[in-house]
Amino acid sequence: MKIIILAIVVCVSLTVLSATEKPNILIIVSDDHGYSDVGFQGCKDIPTPHLDRLAKEGLHCTNGYVSHPFCSPTRAGLMTGRYQHRFGHQNNPFYNPNDHQEGLPMSEKILPEYLTKAGYMTGWIGKWHLGAASEFRPNNRGFAETFGFIGGGHKYQNWTVNVKNEYTVPIERNGKEVLETEHLTTVFGDEAADYIKRHQGKPWLLYLAFNAPHTPHEPTAERLARFASIENPIRRNYAAQVSLLDDAIGTAMESLRVSEQEKNTLVFFFSDNGGPISSGGNGSNNDPLRGGKGEVYDGGVRVPFLVKWPAAFPAGVKYDFPISSLDVFASSLAVAGVTMPTDKKYDSVNLIPYLSGEKKEAPHQQLFWARGPNMAVRDGDTKLVKMGPIQHSLYDLKTDISEKTDIKDRSSAETKRLSDLLSAWDAEMVPPAFPGAKSGVKKPVKENK
């Protein structure tokens, strides 16, 4: 596999950085964002100038993955540095403030809890989707400042608050309801910019989790008019929403520049999963990948992925080795000078020496995915996909990025080896800790008394 990267050695030991030297950490996550729906990956009908600038000034990770093919489990893995199946977070939790089971298990310590002890200000803005009961909420999981909605999705504008409807629950600031009248995507970008400017002089973490371009698509009339040339109305609305998302990210990035914090801020950007294509989808495009949201083919788990840290990383470079959203955890602890915990098995890899060019090998030998009986493992450039208990397919991603040509019949030994790896990994996982919204069970949402 060809890697084009400049060798840069980070000369300062990350474990001895003072508070003023420790980099800020900005984690930007989009929602249901198609693999090809960014300019830096070839999109022609949806301009994304701010994300394209981020790609030009940072590292474009062409094999960037998330740990699960849909929303909440990916976020649970991101926050813990562990495959979410290790602690039973395989499902999207119901939104129910009175349910003390549906959420990221309290047995897991998450990223902001570690960074707070390392002297970081910690903030969350946007979508939570890790549990609605009080103990699961961000202000009780290590985030000092919080702004957004607690459920798995939300209307973007012109909603009437209804606490029984997940998509119209209140927007909250530090746990208290606030009134918002502007488009929610724009609001999140403005809030991020304000957070960045207010916390100059002390290292900070900001988890900026947009719900865009997840449905319902409710772009502004002005933004929709820009895409009148797109004939498909679903794609047109999606494009307008992606454009608003790009502008909001640009607002946050501009605040880094004007406050002179850009050089020493470690930025991650990726989608929580691939774009949905089943049941009409949301207008997204995952080409040339196979599949989409909910699937263990690459279209469900391989996403637009950027990393930037001007103080340590080269600019405008493609990094081709596979990396995972799980790696944000170990990388963030490393730059904060926090020792990686050893109390459990962690799957996160510190990417800093790899992305800086200090280490030349791949950060991961294998990556794993599972949704119910469907599972997959990538080992180097080879990927095994298991659909149910019997059907296996083997692909060479180096020559077949679209997973079209099954090579298991001419590689039976490799198929068995990867099948055994997948079985061994699966044996380490645990059953779901909560039934979740994908279980088909309906639970009523009740108002807190």
Question: What string of DSSP letters covers 286-325?
Answer: -TTSS--TT-SSHHHHB--EEEE-TTTS-SSEEE-S-EET
Count of other CB atoms within 10 angstroms of residue 399: 9
* Catalytic annotation, pick one of 60, 61, 71, 392: 71
Is 71 noted as a catalytic residue in this protein? yes
Q: Is the torsion defined by CA of 30, 36, 38, 43 positive or negative?
A: negative
pLDDT of residue 158: 93
Q: In what order do the strands lie in the sheet with 59-61?
A: 176-178, 171-173, 145-149, 121-127, 204-209, 24-30, 265-271, 305-308, 59-61, 317-319
Break the chain into its structural domains and give their ranges. Answer: 22-355, 366-428
Would you state the pLDDT for residue 1? Answer: 42
pLDDT at 437: 81
What's the pLDDT score for residue 388?
A: 86
As its CATH architecture, domain 22-355 has 3-Layer(aba) Sandwich (3.40)
Query: Which backbone phi and psi does 155 adopt, to 5 degrees?
Result: -65, 155
Closest CA to 272 of 49, 70, 18: 70
Q: What is the pLDDT of residue 119?
A: 97
Q: What is the CATH number of domain 366-428?
A: 3.30.1120.10
Q: Which residues of the chain have a pLDDT value below 70?
A: 1-20, 438-449
Cα atoms in the Cβ-side hemisphere of radius 13 Å centred on 351: 26
pLDDT, tens only, 19-29: 558 999 999 99
Q: What is the pLDDT of residue 20?
A: 53
Catalytic residue from among 129, 154, 183, 214: 129
Please report the pLDDT score of residue 445 as a whole number. 47
Active-site residue, 11 included: no
Measured distance CA(194)–CA(197) in Å, rounded: 5
Quote the pLDDT of residue 29. Answer: 98
